[in-house]
Structure 1
Amino acid sequence: MNTRNTLHQNTQQRAAVISGIALLLMTLAAILAQGYIHSSLIVEGDTATTFKNIQASQSLFSLEILGWLIIIITDLVVSWGFYMFLKPFHPGYSLLAGWLRLLYTAILSMAVSYLVIANGTVHNLEMDLTADTMAQQTLGSITAFESIWSFGLIIFGLHLVAVGFVAMSTKKIPKLISLLVVVAGFSYSLIHVMYGFIPQFDRFTGQLEFMLMAPMVIGELGFGVWLLVKGRNLTMD
């Protein structure tokens, strides 16, 4: 193997390790921010209770925002890492996957800005607002966050589909891992297209999301674990 190929292989292996670590950190941040804090503070359709929950746990809500900022940073790292790792297998689709993830990260950043706005409202930065108005504005900002993030997850799903197709094009990556990534991507896009464009089926969509939750989580996380364990030793010869 010549020096140039060795350099490319070393870069690919480093990208695998960095991506794997970033995905694990992202998963932990998501469990904290969305899985624990957001779901415990936000009561869907109940403006008053949601506002009281956040007022009573302002430091916890700030911690959620910090969790989302960590997710945004690790998403940027994963965008680079996936592209560098997958580029030798299919440069075109790898670039597409990278740009899709960057687009998703930009949308997520926009969504998280509404949590920052909600946090400012709860801290009563506008002293002339009544408690009821503050509650309405807080829930409005949180609803905007959830809607924008849901739209972003359609793009995220397309990103995973592109990653899965690149992975399936090589024998270096196990076909089961590749298939799980494709299924996860398809599931994300389907679920959030339904949430965004067929709201009358929200109850069914929620049930479908519950059934697809396992492949949605296992797909990308499984790929991340494989990158960290096996991808770091991958050779192109």
Structure 2
Amino acid sequence: MTTATATTAAIRGTDTPSATAALWAGIGYAILFVAAIAANFGVVTSITAAGDPTAMVDAIAADPTAFRFTVLAFGVIFVLDVVIAWGLHVLLRPTGEMRSLLAAWMRLAYTVLLGVAVGLMHLAGQVATGALPVTDATGTTALLMAGFDITWIVGLAAFGVHLLVIGWILVRSRVAPRILGIGLMIAGAAYIADTVAHLLVADYTAIADVMLAIVAVPSMLAELGLTVWLFLAARRVRTGRPLGRAYIVAA
């Protein structure tokens, strides 16, 4: 029996849990895409692009409902990331439990920091709208939003490691197309590079547009591909079919 065939057999051995885990991870990723695009590009980008702290506070206070829904969207993402970490670990555990566990822990480490970032963002909204009175509302709001940003960015380094490990698992186990695993590894490296750039480059804004493209393009393509594969994997495992196209090749 080849390595990939044995892996598929092991996954089929826990048929219902693995299929269910893959399905929930796929559903989680699909919802996460919508929530992330709406929250980050719909509201956060416009607020941070306002420039000076006064304009930032004015942007939040102008539509506090939209800001609160943005905080809620990030809270939903926080929960979904836990579900996705669990689902991927259950599905990929037969490919190597320690590697799968490492990937799960890396995503959970990112998720913890995301939760802290969401808390900071909520407080920024409270201060900007006057619900939480402070002496310097403008400065405090700007500081809390900066805290949200850097906390999330540091967490994305752990998320990048998560994608690197998941990509490596898919490449080595051959339960998914090789290009998907390579794409996830490229996306993971891009996340890590962006965090390093934030921490080391004095004027990050000068390269922000370039770094956004470097991160956004491979991550969206790779993670969308992973979402589709998770739905296909759930169906294949449930029906007893092998995963991937390379399972007949000896390792």
TM-score, normalised relative to structure 1:
0.90
Q: Which residue of 1 aligns with 2:144?
A: 141
Unaligned runs of 5+ in 2: 1-9, 243-251
Structure 1 stretches of 4+ with a deviation exceeding 4 A read 4-7
Alignment of 1:1-237 (within 5 A): 8-43=14-49, 45-127=51-133, 129=135, 133-200=136-203, 202-204=205-207, 206-234=209-237, 235=240
Give the Cα–Cα distance (whole angstroms) in 1 for the partners of residues 132 and 37 of structure 2: 32
- d(CA) in 2 for partners of 1:120, 1:108: 18
Secondary structure, counterpart of 2:14 in structure 1: helix
Segment of structure 1 superposing worse, 201-210 or 188-197: 201-210
Question: What's the offset of the Cα at 1:226?
Answer: 1.2
The separation in 2 between residues aligned to 1:50 and 1:86, in whole angstroms, is 43
How far the C-alpha of 1:123 sits from its partner, in A, is 2.8
Change (3 A) 1:179 1:93: same
Higher relative contact order (CA 8 A, sep 6+): 2
CA shift digits 1:162-185 (9 cap, x unpaired): 111111112221101111111111
The Cα offsets for residues 75-102 of structure 1, whole Å up to 9 and x where unpaired, read as 0100100100110111110000001111
Contact 2:89 2:103 in 1 (8 A): yes
Shift of 1:40: 2.0
Query: Do the aligned partners of residues 73 and 212 (structure 1) sit closer, same or farther apart at CA in structure 2, a change above 3 Å counting?
Result: closer
Contact 2:78 2:111 in 1 (8 A): yes
* Greater shift in the superposed pair: 13-22 or 224-233: 224-233
Structure 1 residue 233: Cα displacement: 0.9
Higher mean Cα deviation, 137-146 or 194-203? 194-203
Larger displacement relative to structure 2 (185-194 or 44-53): 44-53
Q: Report the alpha carbon displacement of residue 221 of structure 1 after superposing the two structures with TM.
A: 2.1
Count of residues in Structure 1 that have an aligned counterpart in Structure 2 = 231
Q: TM-score, normalised by structure 2?
A: 0.86
Give 1:15 shift.
1.2
Quick check: 1:89–1:170 contact (8 Å CA) kept in 2? Answer: yes
* Matches of 1:124 and 1:42, distance apart in 2: 19
- Show structure 1 runs of 5+ residues with no match: none
**Identical amino acids, percent of aligned pairs:** 25
Q: Is the 8 Å Cα contact of residues 11 and 94 (structure 2) preserved in structure 1? A: no
> Offset of 1:210 from its aligned partner?
1.5
